[in-house]
Amino acid sequence: MMKKIIITTGGTGGHIYPALAVGKKLLNRGMEVLFVGSSTRMEKDLVPEEGFKFLGIDVYPFQNLKKIPSNIKAFLQAFKIVKKEQPDIIIGFGNYISIPVLLAGAILGKKIYLQEQNADLGMANKLFYKIAKKCFLAFDTTYEEISVKDQHKFLVTGNPLREDIYTMDKDAERERLKIGKDEKVLLVTGGSLGAKSLNEAVIKSLKDIYKDKSIRIYWATGDKNFGEINEKLEDQQIKVSDIIKPYFNNMINVMAAADLVVCRAGALTVSEIMQLEKPSILIPYNSIKVGQYQNAKILSENEAALIYSDSKADEAIEKALELIKNDDELNKMSRKAKNLKKSNAAEKIVECLDIWRS
């Protein structure tokens, strides 16, 4: 009989893309896959666009006490879904959004698996790993921090990335983007939501960057800031073209073509940097809650990246413009990033799931 898997996740690209990567592997191997996420956030569009069945529940961050009634409702919605669908397993990809389905799954005695994208275990995964069959980790450092008695619950696989990244070639992508032989590509990205401080720093230097014909910038601004940025650039008489966009659907291709990446330290971006062997300058989002500094440290402690604080975003851009001209240093950083990569995580995760016996 066809096995059924519920995947639960949402909120940001960093939680959704790895879930989609695993979902696709499962579909290809003949499994039935159902996604459950928030009815209001990115996953409600992203997941169906990728051809998956999606059910939305009305879940909100648990710190928001006003939302308690709504979250009770979300749990009841999740309970109904799990009871009706009778999945063989449930896989949670972190975020508060995954909590109602995982809780329902636990009560109904379902096999639970987890995936943690970040260096530090997030709240949802901390809550559930003890009852899970396995929690798949992106980074070795996370495993090393876990108490010895719990380590058997964890397996380091790397982050599941979009499949095409594993065959991506820098020269081919540069050709496709019509990048000249002597042109240096600087990619600036604030993650799936954009980064205000980073955007402001870029605006300040954009005229200089444009003047320097040897540098081509690709800049993902995020949706929120794009309108405002557009106005500011118009004031400076800079034309927004296809290299400055709120969001790049072809981010992996642009990153493959890049010589240097300046970005936040979301876990997926960090894993993509490793996979594509890119030197980077990281400006972690400065909320302790999301743990981006810990992600950034993995690259910087291995000399593959430099870290700047949010308040030093201007300096980070200045440094980027200097570093991008230093091939020796870029090559060295690239080699260090290469040492950290862990390929084919989705495949490894799927192999470990207890669904292959009839």
Query: How many CB atoms lie under 10 A from the CB of residue 163?
Result: 16
Is residue 120 a contact residue for ligand UD1 (CB under 6 A)? no
219's tokens? 């800049």
Which residue in 41, 272, 293, 296 binds ligand UD1 (CB under 6 A)? 272
| Cβ distance to ligand UD1 smaller for residue 46 or 82 | 46
Is residue 193 a contact residue for ligand UD1 (CB under 6 A)? yes
Which residue in 6, 165, 257, 267 binds ligand UD1 (CB under 6 A)? 267
| Cβ distance to ligand UD1 smaller for residue 77 or 157 | 157
Segment contacting ligand UD1 by CB under 6 A, of 106-114, 184-192, 232-240, 349-357: 184-192
**What distance in Å separates the CA atoms of residue 225 and residue 208, rounded to the nearest whole number?**
21
Is residue 290 a contact residue for ligand UD1 (CB under 6 A)? yes
Helices (H), 179-266: 196-211, 223-235, 251-257
Minimum distance of ligand UD1 from residue 247's CB (angstroms): 4
Query: How many CB atoms lie under 10 A from the CB of residue 285?
Result: 22
**What distance in Å separates the CA atoms of residue 105 and residue 204, rounded to the nearest whole number?**
50
Helix (H) or strand (E) holding 92: strand 89-92
Annotated binding site: 12-14, 118, 162, 192, 267-272, 292
Which amino acids are annotated as binding site for UDP-N-acetyl-alpha-D-glucosamine, given as ranges? 12-14, 118, 162, 192, 267-272, 292
Residues that bind ligand UD1 (CB under 6 A): 12-15, 17, 94, 117-118, 189, 191-193, 220, 247-248, 251, 266-269, 272, 285, 290, 292, 295
